[in-house]
Structure 1
Amino acid sequence: MRSPVLRAALALLLFSGWMALLFWGFALGGGVHLLLAGALGLFPWRAARALTPPTPSLPALHPPQPGREGA
């Protein structure tokens, strides 16, 4: 399974199943949390990281110059 879109879709399906079972009150002895672990393991993290834009750098803070503190 190489396609990031297919992996993301399957991860979304597992995550949705996990949420639905939790909201309906089915814990299955804690086994329902294996769906969450499967979704997190299946999600294409590298592909998602490649799609995010780089964070802009913070503006440089210049030290105050003598005589210009009030300006």
Structure 2
Amino acid sequence: MGTEITPDEYDLIVIGTGLQESLIASAAAKQGKTVLHLDPANYYGSLWTSFQLDQFLDWCKSHGSDKIERFSSR
């Protein structure tokens, strides 16, 4: 820790890991550009996300699901 990332260290900074962002980042990298690819989400994949069970339960609780208590107490 303690290392600061500055924008002038990269040719391209891409925020988000959707299809469009990933295509742009990969195309730039393929051309030899230095790319910093970031995503503000703490999980990836949108509707295609996969979680470990404990991650799924935490996600459900953080999104206000009260029905998850029934499932997790089995």
TM-score between the two structures when normalised by the length of structure 2: 0.31
The higher relative CO (CA closer than 8 Å, separation ≥ 6) is in: 1
Larger Rg: 1
Higher strand share: 2
